Amino acid sequence: MTGDSTRCVKAVAAEGDPGDPLQPGPVFAAPYRLGQDESPGLDTYARASHPGWRALESALAELEGAAAARVVGSGMSAITVALRSLTVPGGTVVVPSDGYYQVRMYARDCLEPMGLVVRELQVSEFTDGTLRDVLAAVPAGAVVLAETPSNPGLDVVDLRATAAMCRDAEALLLVDNTTATPLGQAPLALGADVVVASGTKSLSGHSDLLYGYLAVSDQSLLPRIDRERLLSGTVLGPFETWLAQRSLATAGLRFERQCTNAFAIAEMLCGHPAAANVRYPGLANDPAHAVARAQMRRFGPLVTFRLPDEDSFHRLVRNSGLVTSATSFGGIHTTADRRARWGDAVPAGFVRLSCGIEDTDDLLADLDGALRAT
């Protein structure tokens, strides 16, 4: 198999004539010049189509193994566009009860008032028979959103088994691939219908832009997605599009180092007296490891563990020279997020650590020292 850095570079490679720039710059345009040719394939207005989008979408589709991809303004936009465009009136939506909290908020506050039935399932309930029972009791056309590894718990959904259940029930399976990225996991190859993801994180990697995308296995889903993106206006600006395209070329290098650091830190934390309940799907003793190993190539940049309380978290950050307190994840800097502050159902001292690209030995020494000083 071609290596991930090669895949990333090839995905964003631009063709051109001698004398052209090796890589194109951003296309700044809102309206385009109109002529007598009024065919629908021409660029007319940047909320409807943009040449920068097409280049980025082609690269993302290549990495996800998708028939096509569509970029939007954020990862949350990718989820809301998918749920609004792919659900049917009176239909059922299944969302994770232990995944990203704003997805649950959106489902409760926006989808239920529209007449959709919302069911929340824990990761364990996707394959213990609960999801099968839910789908058996509702009409065809349900939409199931799986997040794997889950945020922040890092539990893993068996995508092959879940995809088979959804096919049997004539339901669509959407997979949030933000944590794993297409460099760690290929949900479409495992049977999913749609990937939704935040490119803000590991794919852009520099903590300097917001964007999301959808990738589909079947292009027949695109008209509904395109219509929702156009009418909702949840689009990506031209400069952000170019930044995302530029950053994607180095995603393989960055993600490999992030995963290397995450594994090393997880191993260190497992034996550390200051840390408890360490979770990382790449660890052989992690509850999710067997499923993760069967469907993931890399296990991502996130490690979670528990400190005694909120004050311990803040002392950790103060005592560290490399770990910054910040939300989001996947950037070049190592960051720590106390997830209880956002309302996640976790203890006050629960830490989600996003491993950056610092030298592994330096990061280990810094984190060890900071923990011992807490």
Give pLDDT tens digits for 137-159.
999 999 999 999 999 999 999 99
The band of 1, judged by pLDDT with boundaries at 50, 70 and 90, is: low
What pLDDT score was predicted for residue 17?
85
pLDDT of 19 strictly over 90: no
Tens of pLDDT, residues 165-182? 999 999 999 999 999 999
Query: How sure is the predictor about 2, in pLDDT bands with cuts at 50, 70 and 90?
Result: confident
Distance CA 19, CA 340 (A): 54
pLDDT, residue 208, reads 95
Rounded mean pLDDT, 319-346: 96
In the prediction, which pLDDT does 374 show? 86
Q: Are strands 335-338 and 350-354 parallel, antiparallel or unpaired?
A: antiparallel
Average pLDDT over residues 20-31: 89
Asked if residue 98 has pLDDT above 80, the reply is yes
Q: Which amino acid, one-letter code, is at 322?
A: L
Contact in structure between 72 and 81 (CB atoms under 8 Å): yes
Cα distances (angstroms) measured from residue 192 to each of 98, 169, 196, 297: 20, 14, 11, 17
Domain 252-372 is found in CATH 1.20.58.220 = no
Least confident of 115-119, 264-268, 284-288, 340-344: 340-344
List, for residues 220-242, the tens digit of each pLDDT value: 999 999 999 999 999 999 999 99
Query: Residue 125: pLDDT above 90?
Result: yes
Computed over every residue of the chain, the mean pLDDT equals: 96
353 Cβ contact partners less than 8 Å away, ≥ 6 residues apart = 262, 265, 302, 303, 304, 305, 323, 334, 335, 336
Checking if the pLDDT of 109 tops 80, the result is yes
Give pLDDT tens digits for 193-212. Answer: 999 999 999 999 999 999 99
Q: Which residues pair with 71 in a beta bridge?
A: 213
Average pLDDT over residues 295-319: 98
pLDDT at 20: 85
pLDDT at 271: 93
Give the phi and the psi of residue 332 in degrees, each rounded to 5: -75, -20
- Residue 71 confidence (pLDDT): 98
Q: Where are the domains of the chain?
A: 4-248, 252-372
pLDDT of 333 reads 97
| 74-78-80 Cα angle (round to 5) | 110
Q: What is the C-alpha separation between 84 and 77, in angstroms, rounded?
A: 10
Q: Residue 15: its pLDDT value, please? A: 81
Residue 213 confidence (pLDDT) above 80: yes
Closest CA to 152 of 357, 363, 353, 314: 353
Question: What amino acid occupies position 125?
Answer: E
Query: What is the fold, at CATH topology level, of the domain defined by 4-248?
Result: Aspartate Aminotransferase; domain 2 (3.40.640)
Q: DSSP string spanning 157-180?
A: --HHHHHHHHHHTT-EEEEE-TTT
pLDDT of residue 40: 85
Residue 252 has pLDDT above 80, yes or no: yes
CB-CB neighbours of 169 under 10 Å: 22
